[in-house]
């Protein structure tokens, strides 16, 4: 009598297997049990099996950290900006269909521009004046870099509003403002985040109605 695979405990992954894919590359695959109990299939591709396994193990560690934040706590305005940036990148990587190139560009912007500028601040301390001061310094060197940084901050803070971390984006602008595409194909993700914001607004309206 055959027996099934033993169940995975929360925060653990199953055996990593590899298989060849097109153009001579290797894909590593494993099952992952997140901290909320959900089971996911996680993959990573590289030029050889060793690199694919290493990339998958890194991806698993990142996914578990994001899952732990989701499962055990909610961010507040008093939490570090770095935690918000990490959760935003996790949302991009796992809950959207952005390309690897787009994700890599957003990750690079966070690592090289936003974290150095705002990493010592809490989420609630990210004000319009501080954002504009950062962008003005960037414009002096490169208008293109400043535009990309502005788009990233805008979307990251919209994500914070949609997650209920802050009530409004300090750099609130019209939805049509800016030129989509500076960070890659994020149009679908922008709509996803705006939908979350509308859900939060609807929740607040219902709460106000119940209090009357």
**CATH value at residue 125:** 1.10.150.130
Residue among 112, 96, 85 at smallest CA distance from 190: 96
Are 206 and 119 in a shared domain? yes
- Kindly state the greatest CA–CA separation across the chain: 72
Instruction: Give pTM, 2 decimals.
Output: 0.66
In-domain check, residue 69: no
Asked whether residue 121 falls in the same domain as residue 39, the answer is no
Task: Looking at the structure, tell me whether residues 100 and 157 fall in a common domain.
Answer: yes
Say how many domains are in the chain: 2
Beta carbons of 87 and 78 less than 8 angstroms apart: no
Write the pLDDT tens digit of every residue in 77-126. 999 999 899 889 888 877 667 888 888 899 999 999 999 999 999 999 99
pLDDT at 209: 65
Tell me what pLDDT residue 118 has. Answer: 95
Is residue 56 within 8 Å of residue 43, measured between CB atoms? yes
* Contact (CB, 8 A) for 26 and 19: yes
**pLDDT in the model for residue 176:** 40
The predicted pLDDT at position 5 comes to 57
100 and 191 belong to one structural domain: yes
Torsion of CA 70, 159, 207, 198, to 10 degrees: -130
H or E element in which residue 144 lies: helix 143-162
**Per-residue model confidence as pLDDT tens for the chain (212 residues):** 344 556 788 889 999 999 998 778 899 999 988 877 778 888 888 899 999 999 999 888 877 776 666 655 578 899 999 989 988 988 887 766 788 888 889 999 999 999 999 999 999 999 999 999 999 999 998 998 899 999 999 999 999 999 889 999 998 654 444 444 578 788 888 888 989 899 888 887 877 766 55
CA angle at residue 16 from 15 to 20, to 5 degrees? 140
Residue 203 falls inside a structural domain: yes
Q: Confirm whether 87 is domain-assigned.
A: yes
Report if residue 57 sits inside a domain.
yes
């Amino acid at each position: 009598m055959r027996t099934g695979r033993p169940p995975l405990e929360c925060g653990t992954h199953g055996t990593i297997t590899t298989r060849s894919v097109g153009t001579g590359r290797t894909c590593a695959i494993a099952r992952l049990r997140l901290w909320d109990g959900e089971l996911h299939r996680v993959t990573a591709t590289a030029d050889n099996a060793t690199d694919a396994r290493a990339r998958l193990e890194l991806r698993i560690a990142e996914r578990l950290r994001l899952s732990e934040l989701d499962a055990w706590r909610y961010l507040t305005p008093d939490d570090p900006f770095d935690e918000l940036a990490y959760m935003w990148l996790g949302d991009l990587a796992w809950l959207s269909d952005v390309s690897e190139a787009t994700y890599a560009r957003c990750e690079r912007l966070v690592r090289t521009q936003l974290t150095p500028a705002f990493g010592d601040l809490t989420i609630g301390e990210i004000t319009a004046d501080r954002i504009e001061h950062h962008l003005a310094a960037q414009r002096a060197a490169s208008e293109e870099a400043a535009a990309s940084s502005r788009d990233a901050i805008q979307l990251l803070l919209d994500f914070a509003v949609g997650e209920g971390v802050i009530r409004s984006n300090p750099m609130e602008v019209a939805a049509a403002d800016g030129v989509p595409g500076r960070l890659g194909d994020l149009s679908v993700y922008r709509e996803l985040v705006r939908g979350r914001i509308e859900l939060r607004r609807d929740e607040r309206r219902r709460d106000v109605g119940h209090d009357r």
